[in-house]
Amino acid sequence: MPEKPDYGNWVSMRLVFLPALIGLVLLILALLFPMIVILAALFLLMAAYFAYARWLFSARGGDVQDKVYGLVLEHLDWNGQGRLLDVGCGSGALTIKLAKKYPDARLTGVDYWGASWEYSKKVCEKNAAIEGVNGRITFQQASALKLPFEDETFDAIVSNLTFHEVRDAKDKKELIREALRVLRKGGTFTFQDLFLIKRAYGTPEELVNAIKGWGISDVEFIDTHNEPFIPGALKLPFMVGTISIIKGKK
């Protein structure tokens, strides 16, 4: 049986096991202190929610994770010629999908791969090899706040649910600006993130105007959080309930 790539799940098992463990411990303590049973129930409900969300994201469940990646591919207006950068490539899933869609492209995936995630450069390279596209993809560790590339290096740039995760960036808009720095004139970009979180990005109009203020005249905002494949259980702000796309041409 051929080996399958491992693209992981956006809901870590730690989000399931930790509240479940705390809930069980509290449940035992509730034998001595009955009022604690309420707190125990809350933690157990939390564990149940994350377990359900993990199932919805998985291929065996709703396959929502793969479909969210598909939104980026759908809205990338590119002919597949030249170099593409994926900022925050994670397990390499989106980068690899793009490599398979654009057989003439050379691709680079960058990620910080912190301890909070189950992904790594090794995982990405293994997935690319299994999918048969490793010869055209380079993966490297880097911060999205300071990309290790010269200005106007890439013909297309994508990013999916990355910018809000970068803790050392106080102004998340600066991450968009840094990504656009390495995009060539006339190059295309498609970024999907929690752009509907006002405290991070302002209103959609303010975000679009900010990007235009950097000299990017072609900018479009696309609300994707109400896509029909996204179940109600995942429409919470910290899941995919605030996702949308910023796309355009430099």
2-31 per-position pLDDT tens digit: 789 999 999 999 999 999 999 999 999 998
Nearest to 12 by CA among 156, 114, 137: 114
Structure tokens at 210: 């900010």
64-249 folds as Rossmann fold (3.40.50)
Residue 114 has a pLDDT of 75
Structure tokens at 94: 């989106």
Nearest to 238 by CA among 200, 206, 205, 197: 197
Residue 168 pLDDT > 90, yes or no? no
Residue 118 has a pLDDT of 78
Q: Band of the pLDDT at 216, cuts 50, 70, 90?
A: very high
Residue 158 has a pLDDT of 98
Residue 173 pLDDT > 90, yes or no? yes
Return the sign of the alpha-carbon dihedral for residues 48, 17, 234, 197.
Answer: positive
Give the helix/strand (H/E) hosting 190: strand 183-193
Helical pair 36-57 and 64-74, crossing angle rounded to 10 deg = 50
Residue 167 has a pLDDT of 87
Structure tokens at 26: 């509290």
Q: Band of the pLDDT at 223, cuts 50, 70, 90?
A: very high
- In degrees rounded to 5, what are phi and psi of residue 146? -145, 85
